[in-house]
Amino acid sequence: MTDTVGVVLAGGLARRMGGGDKCLIQLRGKSLLGWIAERVTPQVTRLVINANGDPTRLRDFKLPVVPDSVPGFAGPLAGILAALDWTRDWMPHVEWVASFSGDAPFVPADIVARFHAVREKERAELVVSSSGGRTNPACGLWKVALAEELRHALVVEDMHKIDAWTARYQLATAEFPTAPVDPFFNINRPEDLAEAEALAESHIGIGA
């Protein structure tokens, strides 16, 4: 396994869910963050949470909580930058960060290995995921050495769209099947949570 730091991006405002920490919403008796952490912890060298505000609310997960270093809730790129900075400071031997959306509980159990496989095959600097013909740019693989270039894009260029930044680099896409369930199904609205409950009940071992 290639040394990789994983980050769960949980720094959003969750407006469509009424605000608060979307990653703490319960799905079949376990938080979305719990679902994600259970799947990705075995795949990474270290897992951290990107979240803003009081970190003690996430202490039960016993994971480092890394806030955005760019003010104003600058979106997922800010969370990715925070994880790149944390990795450079605390695990300087690690060259890669894998990011996961804090509202997508069905992430595959082999996603990190597949990221690295497609990266090596295509000699890419960055990897994003895709399913059903739709790219999921917040769930990807990022080179720690690009931290300063990302900081410049965010702070100086005021760039917030992941696709706009990744277009500058050699980018690979890791494709994932949508059967039996789209692995990047994300929960943005209350009706999405109801659908996720039904999916999880219908497919025991989902995401494995």
What confidence score (pLDDT) does residue 200 get?
87
Number of Cβ within a 10 Å radius of residue 17? 18
Q: Calculate the average pLDDT of the chain.
A: 92
Q: How far apart are CA 107 and CA 98, in angstroms?
A: 12
4-202 has CATH 3.30.360.10 classification: no
What confidence score (pLDDT) does residue 48 get?
Answer: 98
Tens digit of each residue's pLDDT (9 = 90 or more) over 49-108: 999 989 999 999 999 999 998 887 789 999 999 999 999 999 999 999 999 999 999 999
Cα–Cα distance, 82 to 103 (Å, whole number): 18
What is the β-pairing status of strands 126-131 and 65-66?
Answer: unpaired
Q: Where are the domains of the chain?
A: 4-202
77 and 50 Cβ atoms separated by less than 8 Å: no
Per-residue model confidence as pLDDT tens digits over 103-146? 999 999 999 999 999 999 999 999 999 999 999 999 999 999 99
